[in-house]
Amino acid sequence: MEFLEAREQTVLTAQREDLKQLMQKLLGEGMDSRSVARKLSALRQFYRYLLLDKLIAHDPTLDIDSPKQWKVLPKALSEEEVGALMEAPSKRGGDGGGGTKVAQSPFAQALALRDRAIVEVLYAAAMRVSEVVTVRVEDTKLDAGYMLVRGKGDKERMVPLGGPAQRALAAYLKSARPRLAGGKSAPELFLARGGHALTRERIWMIVELASRAAGRHASPHMLRHSAATHMVSHGADLRTVQTVLGHADIGTTQIYTHVALERLQTVYKDHHPRAKARARQTRTLKDESR
């Protein structure tokens, strides 16, 4: 309103050009493009309300493009941090404080095996929490080394399981799940005590406890992003990563492009003869300048 008053306008008389100038002013003052986009979104809702209440005849926010935003790569764990996190569920509850080893109860052992299998699957298959909650025993094909996952929009995809995840799942299915099921028949792969399906919140707690023991805060979504980041850094193409993650649009997967670009630059420097020649020339020029 203050901006419009300076232009001798009100919120009811503002034109499209007025709002475009407001966006430009905010960007010019150094406001982050994401913040400006949020303000534009709020104005769109406000003017939609005014239009529905017939206080204005047209919506001045129509055809105003949101500021271009850099897509921010979600936080990811290092490969060493992932390794430490994977070991944490097995160790938790195995000591009585101060490093003194105590015997685990059968239920504690079952829970440790379940939690280890969950964190292994979250990372190995890059699954969403909702997918882990709903995955069924019949979807797990350990002999073939993959799992059938139902993602957003009930779309199915097959995701491979690495050796550690397969072993963790085999141990869970053999020794832990029957104890947790308590004689009940349940389709879900991962169960709480009494044969009940796990909740999303419980899986977040499992990962939080494991990450705390490993010394680095992490969430299930961080494990998913870590898996994608590590795949790209080891040479996986974006189409493969898109398939594993279950992204409908490869544009969503392209947030990992910068990882691929870093690897591309490294490979280029190591293998392209002109890159090496350029590096030698740069060192020669520096030596001559001395």
247 catalytic, yes or no? yes
Q: Check: CB of residue 119 under 8 Å from CB of residue 86.
A: yes
101 catalytic, yes or no? no
152, 193, 200, 217: which one is catalytic?
Answer: 152
Q: Number of H helices and number of E strands within the chain?
A: 14, 3
92, 114, 116, 224: which one is catalytic?
Answer: 224
What do you get for the CA distance between the two ends of the chain, in Å? 61
Adjacent-strand bridge partners of 177: none
225 catalytic, yes or no? no
Distance CA 27, CA 66 (A): 11
92, 116, 177, 247: which one is catalytic?
Answer: 247
128 catalytic, yes or no? yes
Q: Which residues in the chain belong to E strands, given as ranges?
A: 140-141, 146-150, 156-160
DSSP code at position 158:
E
47, 123, 172, 256: which one is catalytic?
Answer: 256
CA quadruple 187, 218, 125, 143: dihedral sign: negative
DSSP code at position 68:
P
Q: And the tokens for 206?
A: 């499992």
7, 20, 221, 258: which one is catalytic?
Answer: 221
290 catalytic, yes or no? no
Distance CA 118, CA 210 (A): 11
CA 204, chain centre distance (Å): 13
Q: Check: CB of residue 154 under 8 Å from CB of residue 207.
A: no
92, 128, 225, 230: which one is catalytic?
Answer: 128
Residues belonging to the active site: 128, 152, 221, 224, 247, 256
